[in-house]
């Protein structure tokens, strides 16, 4: 399974993703510069965390118009697997590939900490190794992760099981105290209706090896590889 | 030459944590009459155009595509000539 990780000016988690997929999962992966315009030949594209274009104006707003983005959007709309992590999630929102928007954290602080995530949907290509309701431990590091969607969009996300991860307590309770940034519905990650585009604020690449203090993130990447090797099709 | 003065603000109802923090600060300073503070963005865009309609269309498009996020923000702008005549447009 061939991965591509997109490098924008200001991305700073691309090397971590490269390592997690290339060295830990031993899958082929290339770094793709934001100035490239071709993404053919890849099975999954990863938009990594960081501060693309300095997060100026709004996080992800300028990266969304990078030269590579028309190709990424075509790839995603054609059903290609796309994973947006942190700043990558923000870029997917700005590009309209996922619904909603990010606001500044309600605490106004940059939050860099471990969080617990409840797996709300384990039927996606990204979550097959988890069981429904499983609690994961994955770190976050962001100042603008306060997910917002209007009531109608939120209801549709819930109805179509597009909320994939929610911030929770270590025992899996979804409470206001477990919400690090004020996101509506404790939302930490969502998927598009078709099921091929996932965005999440927590960093799976930062917990993909024992030496990093956890391996739950590795299972997310491994789920993708399982899904690919099984030859599953979305909507089948 | 035209100067666009663009104001980008949160839509009513969208929580503004910065605005709340500023309101809290002002109240702590003793300004008791404050009911709400909203923090927005102000941009000045210089346009090498004299045609107000074309300039307006361009600014409108810039706001819609990049300067504001329609999910959470709204925008308004004025177009000014160097002489200072101004007109306000609201989307």
Interface check A125 vs B, CB under 8 A: no
**Chain A residue with minimum CA distance to B67:** A57
Q: What is the pLDDT of residues B10-26, one digit of tens each?
A: 999 898 989 999 999 99
Q: What is the pLDDT of residues B40-65, one digit of tens each?
A: 999 999 999 999 999 999 999 999 99
CB contact under 8 A, B66 and A62: yes
Q: What are the strands, taking DSSP E only, across A73-204?
A: 81-85, 101-103, 111-119, 135-142, 146-148, 163-168, 187-191, 197-200
**Model confidence at B87, in pLDDT bands (50, 70, 90)?**
low
Q: Among B8, B14, B17, which would you mutate to test the A interface (most chain A Cβ atoms within 10 Å of its Cβ)?
A: B17
Strand partners, A47: A84
- Hey, where are the domains in chain A? 3-230
Q: What is the pLDDT of residue B81?
A: 85
Q: What is the pLDDT of residue A144?
A: 96
Give the residue-averaged pLDDT of B71-85: 85
**Model confidence at B83, in pLDDT bands (50, 70, 90)?**
low
- Hey, where are the domains in chain B? 2-14+40-86
Q: What is the pLDDT of residue A206?
A: 98
CATH number, span B2-14+40-86: 3.30.1280.10
Q: What is the pLDDT of residues A116-168, one digit of tens each?
A: 999 999 999 999 999 999 999 999 999 999 999 999 999 999 999 999 999 99
CA distance A186 to chain B (A): 15
State yes or no: pLDDT of B88 exceeds 70: no
Low-confidence ranges of chain A (pLDDT < 50): 236
CB contact under 8 A, B15 and A182: yes
Q: Give backbone dihedrals phi and psi of A33, rounded to 5 degrees, phi first.
A: -70, 145
Cα A186 from chain centroid?
A: 15
CA distance B71 to chain A (A): 6
- Given a contact cutoff of 8 angstroms between Cβ atoms, the answer to whether A228 and A113 are in contact is no
**Alpha helices of chain A — where are they, by DSSP H?**
14-19, 69-77, 87-94, 151-159, 216-230
- Top-tier CATH class for A3-230: alpha beta
């Amino acid at each position: 399974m061939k991965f591509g990780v997109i490098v924008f000016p200001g991305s700073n988690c691309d090397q971590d993703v490269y390592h997690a997929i290339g060295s830990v999962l031993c899958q082929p992966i290339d770094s793709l510069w934001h100035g490239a315009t071709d993404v053919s030949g890849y099975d999954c594209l990863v938009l990594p965390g960081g501060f693309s274009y300095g997060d100026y104006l709004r996080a992800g707003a300028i990266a969304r118009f990078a030269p590579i983005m028309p190709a990424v959007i075509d790839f995603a709309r054609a059903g290609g697997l796309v994973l947006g992590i942190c700043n990558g999630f923000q870029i997917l929102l700005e590009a309209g590939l996922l619904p909603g928007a990010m606001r500044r954290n309600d605490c106004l602080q940059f939050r860099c900490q471990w969080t617990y995530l409840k797996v709300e949907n384990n039927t996606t290509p990204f979550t097959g190794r988890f069981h429904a309701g499983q609690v994961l431990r994955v770190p976050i590091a962001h100042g603008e992760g306060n997910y917002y969607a209007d009531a109608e969009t939120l209801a549709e996300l819930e109805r179509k099981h597009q909320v994939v991860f929610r911030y929770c307590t270590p025992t899996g309770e979804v409470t206001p105290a477990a919400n690090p940034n004020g996101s509506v519905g404790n939302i930490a990650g969502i998927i598009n209706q078709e099921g091929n585009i996932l965005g999440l604020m927590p960093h799976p690449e930062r917990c993909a090896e024992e030496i990093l203090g956890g391996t739950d993130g590795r299972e997310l990447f491994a789920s993708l590889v399982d899904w690919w090797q099984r030859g599953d099709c979305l909507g089948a | 030459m035209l100067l666009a003065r663009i104001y980008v603000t949160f839509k009513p109802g969208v929580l503004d944590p910065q605005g709340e923090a500023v309101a809290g600060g002002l109240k702590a300073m003793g300004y008791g009459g404050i009911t709400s503070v909203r923090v927005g963005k102000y941009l000045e865009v210089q346009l090498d155009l004299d045609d107000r309609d074309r300039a307006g269309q361009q600014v409108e498009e810039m706001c819609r595509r990049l300067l504001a996020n329609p999910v959470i923000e709204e925008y308004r702008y004025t177009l000014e000539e160097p002489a200072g005549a101004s007109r306000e447009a609201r989307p």
